[in-house]
Amino acid sequence: MAIPLYNRDLSWLSFNHRVLQMAADSQVPLYERIKFLSIFSSNLDEFFRVRMPAILAINKVLEHDPEAAGEESPTPETLQEVLDTINRQQEEYGRIFTGMILPALQQHGIMLSYGPVQPHPELATFTRSYFQTAVQACLQPVWLSQRHKKFFPENNALYLVVTLSPQTAPDIREIVLVNIPAGLKRFLSLDAADDQYHIAFLDDVIRVHLPYLFRGYIIHDSYCIKLTRNAEIDMDEMKGDVLEEVETAIRKRELGVPTRFLYDAAMPLSLRNFLAARFDVADNEMVPGGRYHNLKDLADLPLPAGLPGAFLYPKAKPVVHPEAAAADYLLDLIQRRDLLLHLPYEQYDPVLRFFSEAAVDPDVEEIYVTLYRIASGSQIAQALISAARNGKAVTVFVELKARFDEANNIRWSKKMKEAGVKLIYSIPGMKVHAKTALVKRRRGYQWDYSGLIATGNFNESTARFYTDHVLFTSHAGITREMELLFLYLQSREQPMAYHFLQFGHLLVAQFNMLTRFTEMIDREIAHAQQGLPAKVTIKINNLQEKAMIAKLYEASEAGVEVNLVVRSINCLLTGIPESSRIRVVRIVDRYLEHARVFIFHNNGREEVYMGSADWMNRNLHRRIEVCVPVYHATLQQQLKDIVALQLADGRQAQQAIQTYVQNIV
């Protein structure tokens, strides 16, 4: 019997629509609404780079072999629904931007030129000088109408397609591509004498001054275009020098086949067809847009000085964890009791201290850590470098296949390797997504172990706006199993070669995670069937794995109360008999919800886990993920309270959690 499932791509698009709705919310500060427009655009770019290639590929297969469709395969109708959904959302985007955001800016004297309008005279004088001194030198016109000219548009780069004619032969039409330089600021601003703050797009600065670029020509029209290329490069089967192969793959990514040709909807059909043929773009890859593309750049919209603070969210001040701050030595404190951080509501300092203390403590001899997305200016990576130079045995598993962070991870890998850090690279066919660190200190003839397990990356940049939890523990069972995990990772073997590894505390994907999650839900089902209280509460980013969705349906039908907080993809269908006892909450707010928490009622003896794993096929079947039990009763209650606040009021949850964390510390 088929399991009712919602299409993952349509679900993701509904999440991105929720982001767009934040831009329309008048209760959100104005410049934060503009940032949500930026996030929406950035998300959509990634969708076309990562998901659309798979949808198009499957659609092409089904055109030739309709029987090849699997139970979860997108159909040709799905592709059309995806494209129609995107078009509707982009139209809504335009209505929000032009009908709500621009008028709101104007009410505060911020005049963002949007459309073919004449710039303010003072801005015109300034932009002419700016064009002649800074912009013109960066322009590289390509005459597309000259067939012998070969040109390969860069991924997600902006171009103006300019139609023009020689003044001496006005009947001849030429087509020229002009780059909009990515190295220059997208917006120019000026405080004018009329006491208004004028902002212009770089695109329009170039448009207005095209006659300086094409002397002796009549300029007819100009239209903005952008080509998005496939970024889903298969790095899973790398067998040789992983570092070298990933570097090669990154370069190839920018040469991927087109997945979206975004054009100004005002562009004539004849010109559109010419460009599609010239750049080898299929009809279903042509996407109409507005006058401006790459509106993710709105995140950099200039903010005039002296504007009211209400334009932005009030500055959040993460609270200090009192016990960690009072401790002279954090590693000693961890030996006495477990600690739990709730980010970004609490300061990230204890995580940085964990690594920096380990780097200089004379009794620390070994440090192990998994790094998935390393901050560009990582203090953690620097601490690991110092530790290695201080004579400690430092072992770091760096996931080189962390999408779009590969280059930064490679850069830090080379620095750490030069310092003497033992680097372990990606396992072929598998990603390591676990967020774990282990420090071993010698105490005479014995060792003490300090473990660190998080729901998010060891990344001090994202720790400011990702909601995550970080557990510090010296629990003997947990830390010994962490050591086993690191011994396995150093082998770089497939999990089946280490099937003998036994994890009793940790849940480790590829070993026992799927089995244990299933068993704990089955236990709730058994309790419900016996007339006992039965409840499952899960907070994750994505829910897509078919077997786990089926198990949640089974639990619901058995009488188990199921509460889900799912930020993004959710393939579980609500409003059907199978999900009558399932409640789903989605939270989109100031911070990016990122934590994964799993709570099983167990007839009043609740079990609480936190960790790195979403319930996606990739997480449960093709990654190394780790979830850890939270045994300390007070810390366990904190996680339960926080998830309860999210379930009670998804819209105001983050503010409520901010207050809650301030009170508990």
Element (H or E) spanning 596, and its range? strand 596-600
Within 13 Å of residue 111, how many CA atoms lie on the same side as its CB?
15
Q: At what angle do helices 76-96 and 52-64 cross, to 10 degrees?
A: 150
pLDDT more than 90, % of the chain: 72
Taking the alpha carbons of 214, 218, 224, 225 in that order, is the dihedral positive or negative? Answer: negative
Q: Exposed/middle/buried for 415, CB within 10 Å: 0-12, 13-18, 19+?
A: middle
Taking the alpha carbons of 117, 123, 129, 134 in that order, is the dihedral positive or negative? Answer: negative
**Whole-Å CA distances, 279 to 54, 88, 222, 292:** 20, 26, 18, 20
Q: Is residue 236 pLDDT above 70, yes or no?
A: no
pLDDT of residue 148: 58
- Cβ proximity of 470 and 452 under 8 Å: yes
* Those residues with Cβ within 8 angstroms of residue 294's Cβ, 6 or more apart along the chain or in another chain: 41, 45, 156, 158, 186, 226
- Cβ proximity of 278 and 144 under 8 Å: yes
Q: At what angle do helices 349-360 and 379-389 cross, to 10 degrees?
A: 10
User: Is 567 assigned a ligand-binding role in the annotation?
Assistant: yes
How would you write 418-482 as a 3-class SS string? HCCCEEECCECCEEECCCEEEEEEEECCEEEEEEEEECCCCCCCHHHCEEEEEEEECCHHHHHHH
Over residues 11-29, the mean pLDDT reads 96
Architecture of domain 508-664: 2-Layer Sandwich (3.30)
Could you tell me whether strands 626-629 and 507-508 are parallel, antiparallel, or unpaired per DSSP bridges?
A: antiparallel
- Cβ proximity of 51 and 59 under 8 Å: no
Residue 126 — pLDDT band, cuts 50, 70, 90? confident
Q: Transcribe 316-380 into DSSP letters.
A: P-PBP-HHHHH-S-HHHHHHHS-EEEEETTB-SHHHHHHHHHHHH-TTEEEEEEEESS--TT-HH
Q: Is residue 404 pLDDT above 80, yes or no?
A: no
**pLDDT, tens digit, for every residue of 530-550?**
999 999 999 999 999 999 999
User: Is 278 assigned a ligand-binding role in the annotation?
Assistant: no
Element (H or E) spanning 95, and its range? helix 76-96
* Those residues with Cβ within 8 angstroms of residue 249's Cβ, 6 or more apart along the chain or in another chain: 233, 235, 406
Residue 238 — pLDDT band, cuts 50, 70, 90? very low
The residues facing 450 across adjacent strands are: 439
Q: Which of 209, 342, 433, 527 is catalytic?
A: 433
Residue 398 — pLDDT band, cuts 50, 70, 90? confident
Q: How many helices and strands in the chain, by DSSP H and E?
A: 21, 26
**What kind of fold does domain 1-108 have according to CATH?**
Methane Monooxygenase Hydroxylase; Chain G, domain 1 (1.20.58)
Fold matches, 322-500 and 508-664: yes
* Token code pair at residue 206: 């170039």
**pLDDT, tens digit, for every residue of 256-310?**
678 889 999 999 999 999 999 999 888 888 989 889 999 999 999 998 887 767 7
Architecture of domain 322-500: 2-Layer Sandwich (3.30)
Q: Is residue 254 pLDDT above 50, yes or no?
A: no
User: Is 403 assigned a ligand-binding role in the annotation?
Assistant: yes
Tally of residues, the chain = 665
pLDDT of residue 366: 98
Average pLDDT, the chain: 90
CA dist 662 and 342 (Å) reads: 11
pLDDT of residue 120: 67
- Cβ proximity of 535 and 514 under 8 Å: no
Architecture of domain 113-303: 2-Layer Sandwich (3.30)
pLDDT of residue 301: 95
pLDDT of residue 237: 46
**pLDDT, tens digit, for every residue of 177-201?**
999 999 999 999 887 767 788 899 9
Residue reference for tokens 């562009």: 267
CA dist 585 and 649 (Å) reads: 9
User: Is 43 assigned a ligand-binding role in the annotation?
Assistant: yes
Helix (H, G, I), strand (E, B) or coil at 267: coil
Q: Is residue 255 pLDDT above 70, yes or no?
A: no
**pLDDT, tens digit, for every residue of 553-563?**
999 999 999 99
**pLDDT, tens digit, for every residue of 61-90?**
666 666 555 555 566 678 889 989 999 999
Could you state, in order of their start, the residue ranges of all structural domains in the chain?
1-108, 113-303, 322-500, 508-664
Identify the residue with better confidence: 335 or 491: 335
pLDDT of residue 63: 66
Over residues 387-405, the mean pLDDT reads 85
pLDDT of residue 430: 84
Is residue 433 annotated as part of the catalytic site, yes or no? yes
pLDDT more than 70, % of the chain: 91
